[in-house]
Amino acid sequence: MSVRPPSAGTNAPLLRLFIAGNTPGARRARESSTELIEALEGNARIEIVDIFEHPAEAERAGILATPTLSDDSVAPPRRLVGDISNTIQVLEYFGYRKKDSDS
């Protein structure tokens, strides 16, 4: 899954959501990632990485806490650690705008 910023070209960036197993926080993060994709009308791709199943990938990325949503398309990567349930704030943080915002 990839996310296209408002002025994106053909290469949409990839967001990665690092979670730890099936904890309540991991389940909430998965649900929130679905809401993010819906807010971007399906123009989003979020790869979910369980650090218990792929510890080397988490170590390579320097992930110290979960859940962490990471945009690795920029240098240095932009990361948001913790609750990602406020879709509007998350989209603003990463520089994406919700399409047809109600506000």
The answer to whether residue 21 is domain-embedded is yes
- For residue 43, what are the domain limits? 15-93
The answer to whether residue 103 is domain-embedded is no
The answer to whether residue 20 is domain-embedded is yes
The answer to whether residue 71 is domain-embedded is yes
The answer to whether residue 52 is domain-embedded is yes
Query: What percentage of the chain exceeds 90 in pLDDT?
Result: 57
Average pLDDT for residues 4-22, to the nearest whole number?
68
Is the pLDDT higher at 22 or at 101? Answer: 22
Quick: pLDDT tens for 29-54: 999 999 998 887 777 688 999 999 99
Decide if pLDDT at 62 tops 80. yes
Number of folded domains in the chain? 1
Is the pLDDT higher at 91 or at 7? Answer: 91
Question: For every residue of the chain, which 3-state class applies, written as one string?
Answer: CCCCCCCCCCCCCCEEEEECCCCHHHHHHHHHHHHHHHHCCCCCCEEEEECCCCHHHHHHHCCCCCCEEEECCCCCCEEEECCCCCHHHHHHHCCCCCCCCCC
The answer to whether residue 83 is domain-embedded is yes
The answer to whether residue 72 is domain-embedded is yes
The CATH number of the domain holding residue 86 is 3.40.30.10
The answer to whether residue 4 is domain-embedded is no
